[in-house]
Amino acid sequence: MIVIGADTHKATHALVAVDAGTGRIRGDREIKAEEPGHLAAVRWARELDDDRAWAIEDCRHVSRRFEQALLAAGERVVRVPPHRMGASRKGEREPGKSDEIDALAVARAVVKDGVECFPVAYLNDQSMEIRLLFDHRADLVAERTRIVNRLRWHLLELSPELERSCKRGSLSKSRVLDRVEREQVRELRRLSREIDALHCELGALVRAHRPQLLAELGCGALTAAILIGRTAGNERFRSEASFALQSGTAPIPCSSGQRIQHRLNRGGDRHLNHALHIIAITRAQRDPATKEYLDRKEAEGKTPKGALRALKRHLARHFHRLLAEPAADQQRAAVDQNSTGVAPSPMVCIS
């Protein structure tokens, strides 16, 4: 008897067949997640052994069609909970993660505990429809709870008395929401005036400190403020590579299956990364040279997201050079000192 483990994805499924008695690998292959691929999987399995069972990780959003094809072909299918697969993978000698390793972990989890210990796959259209509707309703309830919680925090900041008067669960009622809306209009107008005033003040500070940033396409006053504030003195970075690491634009390897690619370093400063992302997106939409750069990267084999990551790395190098230049206010202070012979008062930078 053999057990065939399947690691299912939207586009492809990885299959690994192992001997039920020894756990030895009998064969493996990858199929397309479509009807011809399902038929090819059944023919391949029948050539390996007459006595077989299919073990599929219990994630029915991507495995449902494959399960349905196997059951229609008269195959025996069991579902493996994800945590059982994880425990099986930890016991393997080969470290790492790939589609084949995951499929092997699914199969050996069933071999270890026995096919009879796992729930048999059974598909019912009505049950699936009810489950999908219930899951959708649960998502909506969770989203409403998230918004209500955020609204309560805002009320606590703006009007603590009003927040205390709203009983638990009352923000789901239209009458209470109408009252909250009226009382918050005045606060919203006041906050809007303050926000606009702060925007103007930030623009003036950036123009006085780093006007060269505002000359860059896609870098407005707020984006420049993020770059200046989150960098907190460009001299603290040993090189542009250090700046790229801090901004989360230094790529790190990330591969799955036969696909080799890189992704961003998620350990960087996400605010700084967000500012560079805004600049990259704006230039990709408005700058012909940037569009040409992205097209060239995609022609080299990069995905659109991979090309955008390369652009952000390039922008990190460019803005590191701009931030390394002496600030405009420091240059003016140096000119004043040379003309008057009086040293300016020292500036203290707190970050």
Residue ranges per domain, the chain? 2-123, 127-206, 210-335
pLDDT of 311 over the 70 cut: yes
Reading the block at residue 317, the tokens are 């190098």
pLDDT score at 350:
29
The set of residues, in sequence order, having a beta carbon less than 8 Å from that of 310 and lying 6+ positions away, is 297, 302
The whole-number average pLDDT for the span 155-183 is 65
Say if residues 4 and 53 touch (Cβ distance below 8 Å).
yes
How high does pLDDT run on average in the chain? 78
By mean pLDDT, which of 8-22, 95-109, 113-127, 236-250 is the weakest?
113-127
**pLDDT confidence of 298, banded at 50, 70, 90?**
very high
pLDDT of 167 over the 50 cut: yes
| pLDDT tens, position by position, 256-266 | 666 666 666 67
Query: Where is pLDDT greater, at 59 or 15?
Result: 15
By mean pLDDT, which of 48-57, 110-119, 150-159, 195-204 is the weakest?
150-159
pLDDT of 146 over the 90 cut: no
Helix H or strand E segment including 190: helix 174-209
The whole-number average pLDDT for the span 162-186 is 63
Say if residues 253 and 289 touch (Cβ distance below 8 Å).
no
**2-123 sits in which CATH class?**
alpha beta
pLDDT score at 217:
94
CA distance 278 to 315: 11
pLDDT of 328 over the 50 cut: yes
Say if residues 311 and 298 touch (Cβ distance below 8 Å).
no
CA distance 97 to 101: 6
Helix H or strand E segment including 35: helix 35-48
Query: Where is pLDDT greater, at 349 or 146?
Result: 146
By mean pLDDT, which of 183-187, 198-202, 215-219 is the weakest?
183-187
pLDDT score at 172:
60
Say if residues 40 and 31 touch (Cβ distance below 8 Å).
yes
CA distance 19 to 221: 64
Say if residues 79 and 56 touch (Cβ distance below 8 Å).
yes
- Model pTM score: 0.48
The whole-number average pLDDT for the span 189-215 is 84
Phi, psi of 27 (to 5 degrees): 170, 165
pLDDT of 307 over the 70 cut: yes
pLDDT score at 9:
87
| pLDDT tens, position by position, 215-238 | 999 999 889 888 888 887 777 777
326: left (phi over 0), alpha (psi -120 to 50) or beta: beta
